[in-house]
Amino acid sequence: MPARRPKYVGMTSAPTSPTLARPHGGCALGKLRLSRYGAHWFDRATGLNILLDEAKVPIDRWSRVPRYVSIALTNACELCCPFCYAPKVPARLDPDRIVGWAHQLDREGALGVGFGGGEPMAHPEFVRICAETAAQTSMAVTFTTHGHRVTPKLAASLRGSVHFIRVSMDGIGETYERVRGRSFAAFQRQLAIVASVAPFGLNVIVNDFTVGELDDIASFAGQVGATEVLLLPEQPVGDRPGISEAASQRLRCWVSRANHRVRLAISEAGVTDGMPTADPFPGESALEAHAHIDATGHLKANAYAAWGVPVGDSIVNALDELREGRVS
């Protein structure tokens, strides 16, 4: 599943810490992004951030690309999850194009790129894409996976090239097995291999079937060493209506009283009235925070969007075209 930009929930502020860097570039000590919100310092090695919102940045210095871009490397995936929104047509991006786009995003001030799908590990050049992006840019490299393709050999080849991993998990035990069609015990064993690569979090689709298991999910996350649980309220896909209002209310109540130590985050699409979020970028417009490139090379406002524009050779030009066409 494509990665999505989260909002942090149940916290007084987003995680922050000072680093040192140069504008729209990176060095061993971090990277600086300039925007209407000030100067945003970021260290991909630790995932720590600090927003200097008192800094007044001239408009001509603002970054022209989102802070984070998700890229679907392929639509291929061997699982058949009923709520999956990835297109079911065969498609796969060229690795040289991906790395070229990463260079552009890095120069223009993006802080991270997240690889998804489908299942990104189904792309035959997955390791190369991660390695070259990490080595040739100062952006954080993340990916979202169901986790079952990670072998000890593959894990060894990814170490040093990935800064964070999101692993999809929808419910505990039998609930997971019913949705994913895989053994939950095997999934838990896979997490130990994932943890040997980089820090990881759990992505959880929240719907009427999983909302009652959130306490167990948060406890499980702590047991296996996950640093974050990303809550993804199910969105309408095909003939599925998405999360019900009753389940949404239960989710809001759960977040309000949750006292688990694991960090909680929620997808942009899941933020509703009454959801306690900590957002350091209030009023941020579409395409300032996040954009998505699908496996056919079309740039979209997000992974759910039906409309997009071909990226071509310039992501900046594609962003301008997308803003003019659909995004105010």
DSSP state of 21: -
**Which residue is associated with the tokens 């969007």?**
305
Hey, what are 20's tokens? 């040192």
Whether the link from the prior residue into 118 is cis, omega within 30° of 0, is yes
CB–CB of 70/35 below 8 Å? no
Q: Which of 11-15, 58-62, 166-170, 193-197 has the lowest mean pLDDT?
A: 11-15
Domain ranges of the chain: 6-13+64-325
Query: In the CATH hierarchy, which fold is given to the domain comprising 6-13+64-325?
Result: TIM Barrel (3.20.20)
- Mean pLDDT over 142-168 rounds to 97
**295-321 confidence digits (pLDDT tens):** 999 999 988 888 899 999 899 999 999
Provide the greatest CA pair distance for the chain.
54
Q: What is the pLDDT of residue 291?
A: 95
Percent of the chain whose predicted confidence (pLDDT) is above 70: 90
**Which residue is associated with the tokens 């000030």?**
38
| Distance from C-alpha of 64 to C-alpha of 66, rounded to nearest angstrom | 7
CB–CB of 153/176 below 8 Å? no
**281-300 confidence digits (pLDDT tens):** 988 887 999 999 999 999 99
Residue 187: partners with Cβ closer than 8 Å, 6 or more residues away = 147, 148, 169, 176, 180
**63-83 confidence digits (pLDDT tens):** 999 999 999 999 999 988 888
Percent of the chain whose predicted confidence (pLDDT) is above 90: 71
Given a cut of 70, is residue 264 above it in pLDDT? yes
| Distance from C-alpha of 98 to C-alpha of 102, rounded to nearest angstrom | 6
Given a cut of 80, is residue 102 above it in pLDDT? yes
3-state DSSP assignment of residue 255 = helix
Per-residue exposure over 187-215, b if at least 16 CB sit within 10 Å of its own CB, e if not = beebbebbbebbbbbbbbbbbeebbebbe
Q: What is the pLDDT of residue 248?
A: 92
**Which residue is associated with the tokens 């803003």?**
323
* Mean pLDDT, rounded, of the chain: 88
Given a cut of 70, is residue 203 above it in pLDDT? yes
Q: What is the pLDDT of residue 68?
A: 96
| Distance from C-alpha of 255 to C-alpha of 275, rounded to nearest angstrom | 8
**Which residue is associated with the tokens 């075209």?**
321
- Mean pLDDT over 2-29 rounds to 38
The sign one gets for the Cα dihedral 181, 187, 190, 194 is positive
| Distance from C-alpha of 269 to C-alpha of 163, rounded to nearest angstrom | 24
